[in-house]
Amino acid sequence: MYKSSNLGYPRIGEKREWKRALERYWKGESSGEELLEETKKLRLKNIQKQKLQGIDLIPVGDFSLYDHVLDTAAMFGQVPARFAYNGGKVPLQTYFQIARGNKFAVASAMKKWFNTNYHYMVPELGERKPLLTENRPLAFFREAKEALGIEGKPVLLGPLTFIKLAKGYEEDKLEETVESYLPLYAQILTELEREGVEWLQIDEPYLVTDVTPREWNITQQIYQTLQKAAPKLKVILQTYFDAVTDYKTIISLPVAGIGLDFVHDDGENLASIQQYGFPKEKVLAAGIIDGRNVWRANLEEKGELLAEIQKAIGSDKIIIQPSSSLLHVPVTVKEEQIDLILKEALSFADEKLQEINTLTEGARKGKAVIRAQIDKSKEAIIRLNSSSARNNQVLQEELKRAAGKPERSDNAKIRQQAQQEAFKLPILPTTTIGSFPQTKEVRKERLKWRKGEITNEEYETFIQAEIKKWIEIQEDLELEVFVHGEFERTDMVEYFGEKLAGFQFTRFAWVQSYGSRCVKPPIIYGDVAYENPMTVKETVYAQSLTTKPVKGMLTGPITILNWSFVRDDISRAEVAKQIAFSLKKEVEELERNNIRMIQVDEPALREGLPLKKEKWKKYLDAAVYSFKLATTSVERETQIHTHMCYSNFEDIIDAIDALDVDVISIETSRSHGEFIQTFAKKTYEKGIGLGVYDIHSPRVPTKEEITENIENALAVLDPRLFWINPDCGLKTRNEEETIGALEVMVEAAKGMREKLLVQNQC
């Protein structure tokens, strides 16, 4: 009874049609009705494509106008009170204000979706009684059936995961909180069953984390209740991103199927099945095609894995599917103009669906039927592994010579004294994180340069003019530490990958990061090696225009790793080491050119943290090693900065300290300074800036807001070590917003300096 299935499809369209539709609406260039009509066409096209690929169980309801967690919150009427929601179906304008804020209210917090580079909006519970404003899964099921004749598999975020991702409830009242939502979930399932829906996918990725016995008890209560509400509905309880923490409990739950990840589980899910068996009455939804990476599957190996799974469960009641939603990969390889050896080794969403269909056909009819496809997959992988790109002997010898534990030659206090003498900064120095607005003109000139419509010299002249303009703006704003603005950079990872060996870039391989923000992660396909200076020219030019220090701006090794699609033939730690060694050379080149402040950003360090604490140490040790390999060879007067964002930093505060940076800036504005409490428990003795306003929201903060954020931070941090900065780069903001916000920030900093001076005199 082998079936093929998908867990979720990219929302954005092959050419980012979704993004453009959203942004036209936000700019007032289209109506809400036009937005909904455009996105409906795209959604139905995506469903039809999956049907044509031969997928049996096609997800519906996985599509979103912004984020599926926000969709779930809106479905239950969980709109923060500050947005003046009056009940009923959440209006489109209100929905987007929750995500983006407005002139009067800050947006909801944004966090990483488990250990991926996707961001979800954090639901705010407790202000309103939950109610069912609409049955979204039912609406999408009806839409696909009426428009295409396709009876899809609705997708629903599970109760436990939804609530554990939220804020606004007390942990000791988790049971009561879950119970308040259960009748609404039961109503959704009852209506789906009444409609004739056969299969429902309920996503519970939280079950692969360190789930407590209490939470497992709650999970049992949830699914017993839902089974009673809709006994004929076939529920697949879907997990992904790792192995489930209590296999014996999950297979005992009253559901028709269990979805397990057999790619990112370190072999634990298969081992559990082999040890404990699998219920004969249930279907196993086996995630055997990687839903998070872009490499072509070795169909021989996948077929062998499938055979092992079948032997272990003693049944062919198997659904063959990706390990997770395909939201995390680009749409299709077909339009990419890249080297054939690499292109044939890649597999994006559409190609992964082909692989699933092929494996399903082989499972049903025998391996001989798909022999040609098996051989083709193996040959493509062998060709890439044998290529010179993956066998750089010079680099391997350099890395052997660089072996050892990297450390700064002086401790932090000695460095602080030397750096203060060198820079003579006032208390509470102000700076920004790195990027300034990338206007239409900047993007237009870059595109003309890439197309060869202007010369290198013309493009360089344009970039220098932008740098000069923003150096002057920073002078006028009276910031203390400047940046050059990064106008030459498309993306903080892509830019460096384009200048290092071992990376491949694409034209259309976009994935959603947050909201309409899409990125093209580079593909690390070979050995990463340094070729030429990457940032020196622009940084040195900026420094020549001012006496204020200008920070050199680099992206750190772990962020480059975590925001790339990484080769899977060697360990991720080894790839990170290669990247770090290249960045070390760039740091030393900046220092040789008298750039004495160098920021090596690691916004993605926390997001790569394994979902189970028992695996944290190995990851963090490798991350700290890579960062220090890149940064510790500089002199004591050279100040190393880093930046991190979107994370629960309290989980990694010791690792942050171990990085031994001179100054760290951390995003905290959307979390309303919750991270500050970490410092009430742990002393941090290096420079630190907690982002004092949110750059993801298109609004200029008030002086009172920023002052309050500064005061909250100084309640637990030494003002002599505190820096004042926005919470992230300003690339996505417009010029008016940026200057307005920075003016307020500088004014607030000056006011706080005066206040501290008065306090010290008293």
Q: Which domains does the chain have, with CATH numbers?
A: 3-330+340-385 (3.20.20.210), 416-761 (3.20.20.210)
Residue 647 has pLDDT above 70, yes or no: no
Q: Is 313 annotated as a binding residue?
A: no
Tokens encoding 90: 């959440």
Three-class DSSP category at 500: strand
- Beta strands 3-4 and 318-322 are parallel
pLDDT grade, residue 490 (50/70/90)? confident
Q: What is the largest CA-CA distance in the chain?
A: 87
pLDDT of residue 604: 86
pLDDT grade, residue 653 (50/70/90)? confident
Rounded Cα gap, residues 633 and 660, in angstroms: 12
Tokens encoding 351: 């190609």
Q: Is 601 annotated as a binding residue?
A: yes
Radius of gyration of the chain (CA): 26
Closest CA to 284 of 313, 245, 250: 313
For 387-432, the pLDDT digits (tens) are 999 999 999 999 988 888 899 999 999 999 999 999 999 999 999 9
CA distances (Å), 71 to each of 11, 63, 514, in order?
14, 10, 14
Complete DSSP assignment for 67-114: -HHHHHHHHTT---GGG---SSSPPHHHHHHHHH--SSSPPPPEEEST
Q: Is 112 annotated as a binding residue?
A: yes
DSSP 8-class letter at 346: B
| Contact indicator for 402, 629 with CB cutoff of 8 Å | yes
Q: Which residues contact 452 (CB under 8 A, 6 or more apart)?
A: none
| Contact indicator for 605, 623 with CB cutoff of 8 Å | yes
pLDDT of residue 679: 72
DSSP 8-class letter at 296: P
**DSSP alpha helices (H): ranges in 632-720?**
653-658, 676-681, 703-714
Residue 231 has pLDDT above 80, yes or no: yes
Q: Is 762 annotated as a binding residue?
A: no
Average pLDDT of the chain is 94
pLDDT of residue 697: 76
DSSP 8-class letter at 374: H
pLDDT of residue 675: 64
Q: Is 252 annotated as a binding residue?
A: no
Rounded Cα gap, residues 550 and 351, in angstroms: 45
Q: Is 563 annotated as a binding residue?
A: yes
Residues in the chain: 762
CA distances (Å), 257 to each of 100, 278, 641, in order?
37, 11, 49
| Contact indicator for 381, 294 with CB cutoff of 8 Å | no
pLDDT of residue 674: 61
CA distances (Å), 51 to each of 141, 152, 221, 665, in order?
14, 10, 35, 47
Tokens encoding 743: 């003016």
Q: At 497, phi and psi to the nearest 5? A: -60, -35
Residue 535 has pLDDT above 60, yes or no: yes
Residue type (1 letter), 648:
N
Closest CA to 713 of 750, 746, 684, 743: 684
pLDDT of residue 648: 63
pLDDT of residue 698: 77
Closest CA to 240 of 70, 111, 114: 114
Tokens encoding 107: 């947006």
Residue 671 has pLDDT above 90, yes or no: no
- Mean pLDDT, rounded, for 115-138: 95
| Contact indicator for 455, 721 with CB cutoff of 8 Å | no
Q: Which residues contact 711 (CB under 8 A, 6 or more apart)?
A: 752
Cβ–Cβ contacts within 10 Å for residue 149, how many? Answer: 8
pLDDT grade, residue 678 (50/70/90)? confident
Rounded Cα gap, residues 10 and 325, in angstroms: 8
Rounded Cα gap, residues 482 and 744, in angstroms: 17
> To which H or E segment does residue 642 belong?
strand 639-644
Residue ranges of E strands in 443-586? 500-504, 511-514, 517-519, 523-530, 552-555, 565-566
With a pLDDT cut of 70, the percent of the chain lying above it is: 98
DSSP 8-class letter at 403: -
Give per-residue burial for 72-103: e unless 16+ CB within 10 Å, then b. Answer: bbbbbbbbbebbebeeeebeeebbbbbbbbbe
Rounded Cα gap, residues 386 and 569, in angstroms: 11
pLDDT grade, residue 669 (50/70/90)? low
- Mean pLDDT, rounded, for 529-557: 97
Three-class DSSP category at 513: strand
- Mean pLDDT, rounded, for 703-727: 92
Three-class DSSP category at 317: coil
Q: Is 193 annotated as a binding residue?
A: no
DSSP 8-class letter at 29: S
| Contact indicator for 560, 496 with CB cutoff of 8 Å | yes
For 210-235, the three-class secondary structure string (H helix, E strand, C coil) is CCCHHHHHHHHHHHHHHHHHCCCCEE
pLDDT grade, residue 632 (50/70/90)? very high
Q: Is 660 annotated as a binding residue?
A: no
DSSP 8-class letter at 121: E
pLDDT of residue 739: 96
Rounded Cα gap, residues 86 and 704, in angstroms: 29
Q: Tell me which residue has tokens 């469960």.
A: 313
Q: Is 507 annotated as a binding residue?
A: no
Closest CA to 659 of 628, 683, 685, 689: 628
Q: Which residues contact 537 (CB under 8 A, 6 or more apart)?
A: none
CA distances (Å), 93 to each of 32, 81, 89, in order?
8, 15, 12
Q: Is 518 annotated as a binding residue?
A: yes
pLDDT grade, residue 603 (50/70/90)? confident
pLDDT of residue 762: 60
696 tagged catalytic: yes
| Contact indicator for 723, 699 with CB cutoff of 8 Å | no
Q: Is 667 annotated as a binding residue?
A: yes
Q: Which residues contact 71 (CB under 8 A, 6 or more apart)?
A: 64, 65, 136
The active-site residue out of 68, 119, 484, 696 is 696
Q: Which residues contact 612 (CB under 8 A, 6 or more apart)?
A: 208, 209, 210, 242, 245
Residue 526 has pLDDT above 90, yes or no: yes
Q: Is 343 annotated as a binding residue?
A: no
Give per-residue burial for 369-407: e unless 16+ CB within 10 Å, then b. Answer: ebeebbeebeebbeebeeeebeebeebeeebeeeeeebe
List the single range of 135-144, 160-169, 436-445, 660-669 with lowest mean pLDDT: 660-669
Q: Is 470 annotated as a binding residue?
A: no
Q: Is 433 annotated as a binding residue?
A: yes
Residue 687's DSSP bridge partners are 663
DSSP 8-class letter at 320: E
For 214-227, the pLDDT digits (tens) are 999 999 999 999 99
Q: At 677, phi and psi to the nearest 5? A: -65, -25
Rounded Cα gap, residues 665 and 4, in angstroms: 46
| Contact indicator for 321, 360 with CB cutoff of 8 Å | no
Rounded Cα gap, residues 111 and 514, in angstroms: 10
Closest CA to 3 of 325, 301, 364: 364
